Every structure is written in C-alpha cells, then in structure tokens.
Structure 1
Amino acid sequence: MGEFWPVPDVLAHLAGRWSAERRVRDLASGHVGRFEGVTAFTPLDGGGLLHEESGTFTWQGVSRPAVRTLRFLPGDSPATADVRFADGRPFHGLDLSRGHHIAEHPCAADLYRGEFTVRDRDHWRSVWRIGGPAKDLVLTTDYARVG
C-alpha cells in the first residue's frame, strides 16, 4: 500500500484543477481502455464542490469525448465529504483523515468498491473494482494537481 498523506479538510484539498489519467481493464474480455482529461472541483452555492471531469476515452481503438459530473458535499467533519451523482442521488462517503478510504456503492446487481489514496498534496488515486453479472472492471485513476 505505501505511505498515505492525511487530509484534514477534504473540500479545501480537492478544490482546483487536476489532470486525470484512468486505465480501465475489463477483466472478462481482457480489453484495456484509457481516459485522459481534467477534473475541476469548483465551489457550489450553499457549500461543497462541483466535480466536472472532461477528456477523451479510448476503448478498442476508438476515441470519444467523455464527461462526468459529481457533487462533493460537506460531510460530518472537514476531513469527510458526501459524494453524490449530478442529480443528487447518493454515491458514497469519503473520509480522507488518514489519507486512505474504502467506499462501496451497490448499483443494480453490481457492486462498486472504491479505494482512495492520497500520496501527497498534489497526487491522489482512486481504484474502483466493479463486479457483478453486468460488469467485471477495474478503473484506476491517477490525479495530479494542475498549476
């Protein structure tokens, strides 16, 4: 696992722009895809951050634009956040007080299990393992602060 970098205020830490590089492995087929883009965390009215990701996703030799929007709302303490989909549905909690967190999100018959690791002020990683009858994937995203 390695060293973790504790984050006392998760929203303050994430605010700003991050480069995002994601590797997507389909464990069933062996296919590997790649996303390259930028993730911006900007203030939301009423508190929290809007997470907007945009870039290019390449799968089986075909590249397409890709976007994703989430909401990171204040949690029970500054080191935590309540992560929600763009439409407000709950996604998962996030506690980076120790620089490492594991989250789960059931989606239909599949289970999303996320591991978040903060390496230092400017680098963090998420690894999502998605398993079930519809999906068998591992998504590894490395983030680096821009600017």
Structure 2
Amino acid sequence: MISTSNGNIGREIKRVNGSRGNGCGGERDGMGEFWPVPDALAYLAGRWRVTRSVRDLASGMEGEFTGTTVFEAEESGGLLHFESGTFVWQGIARPAQRTLRFLPGPGGTADVRFADGRPFHDLDLRSGRHVARHPCAADLYRGEFTVLDAGRWRTVWRVRGPAKDLVLRTGYARAG
C-alpha cells in the first residue's frame, strides 16, 4: 500500500457520506473524508504509480505488484487503462500487465470494461467513494474505490468463491 499523508494542506474538504475519518469501513486511514470527483475520467487520465498487495486468506500467502497504470484517451471519449509492472509471489518475480477500458457514463461516472469489451463494473466517484460488484463464474468480486486527494486513490478488492479467498489492496499515486 501507499502510505497516506495529509495531502490537504491549505485546503478544507467537506464531509462526504457521513465519514468519520476513523480508519474503519474503508475510510481514509484516519485522515478524514473522501475526496469527491465530479468526473471520473478526467480525474483518472494520466500516469499513476501503483503498489498492490495480494493476500490469499485461505493459505496466508502474500504477494506484491509494483508498476504503473496509464489512462490514455481513446477516440471513443473513454480511457484505455494499461497497467504493467512486476508481480512477486512466493519469492518469484514475474512481469505482469492488464488492460481495461473506462467508458463515459452518465453524470461523470464510468463504465469499466475488460479489454475484450465484456462488462466489469460501474464507477461513480462523485462522493469520493464507490463500491462495485462483479460476479465471475462462482466467484464474487467486491471492490471499494476511495479517492484520497487530487493525486492519490486506492482500491480494495475482496474476492470470495469456492476456490478463492483473496484481498487485493492497491494504492495509486499520480506520477509527476
């Protein structure tokens, strides 16, 4: 995870969704409120540094991904999301990458699709926080998106199913 620090110097943020800033329930690591984003695609556009921890709750094994994510404008008005880096699992480092498409949704939201066009989830960051669900065969993916400030956001995906019991925590920091 990317450590959090107070990125709100000289700026006051209004309380959103009754958040208490106590670090519970997906709130901002004790730092306060969520950062509302009126237009998800405008916020995400650009290059981000990524750190992801992966924990298999059944086995206790852990891994880590580090790399970059680039959200690049497409002619469709959406963004092509390309993530690349290194994934370390059981001490073995391997190159890893994935591609998603973020299409414009109503009112500043986004419709997230896999590279082949299949639906993945919706994304509404207008409150600074969003919960998405994605059924995948017998597994259920539940993702919580939290915007920390203008240059940092995170996701926590909980994956449960007959063969999976995972938590994936990802921190994004805007690259200079």
Give the TM bin, normalised by the shorter chain. over 0.9
Residues 114-133 of structure 1 mapped to structure 2, 5 A cutoff: 114-133=143-162
CA distance in 1, matches of 2:37, 2:54: 27
Structure 2 counterpart of 1:48: 78
Distance 1:44 1:82 in 2: 14
- Equivalent-residue separation in structure 2 for 1:21 and 1:45 (angstroms): 29
Alignment TM-score, normalising by the size of structure 2: 0.82
| Structure (1/2) with the larger strand percentage | 1
Is the radius of gyration larger for structure 1 or structure 2? 2
- Output the CA distance in 2 between the equivalents of 1:145 and 1:45: 23
Shift, 1:46, TM fit? 1.5
| Aligned residue in 2 for 1:72 | 102
Equivalent residue number for residue 109 of structure 1: 138
- 1:104-138 CA-to-partner distances (Å, cap 9, x unmatched) read 00000000000000000000000000001021000
- Structure 1's consecutive aligned runs of 4 or more residues displaced over 3 angstroms after TM superposition are none
| CA distance in structure 1 between the aligned counterparts of 2:147 and 2:121, rounded to whole angstroms | 17
Report what 2:120 is aligned to.
Answer: 91
Q: Given residue 106 of structure 1, which amino acid in structure 2 is its aligned partner? A: P
Hey, what does 1:143 align to over in structure 2? Answer: 172
In 2: Cα distance, 1:20 partner to 1:26 partner: 20
SS in 1 for 2:35: coil
Find out whether 1:32 has 2:32 as its counterpart.
no
Kindly provide the amino acid, as one letter, of the partner of residue 84 in structure 2: S
Identity of aligned residues (%): 71
Task: Return the alpha-carbon distance in structure 1 between the equivalents of residues 87 and 43 of structure 2.
Answer: 26
Asked if 1:18 corresponds to 2:48, the answer is yes
Q: Distance in 2 between matches of 1:15 and 1:46?
A: 14
Distance in 2, matches of 1:59 and 1:45, equals 37
Aligned CA RMSD, in angstroms, stands at 0.5
Question: 1:36: Cα distance to partner?
Answer: 0.1
- Report how many aligned residue pairs link the two structures: 146
Per the normalisation by structure 1, the TM-score is: 0.98
Amino acid at match of 1:99: G
Q: CA deviation at 1:76?
A: 1.1
After superposition, what is the alpha-carbon deviation per residue over 1:37-69, rounded to whole angstroms, capped at 9, x for unaligned?
A: 000000011110000000000000000000010
Gaps of 5+ in 1: none
Cα distance in structure 1, aligned partners of 2:36 and 2:137: 33
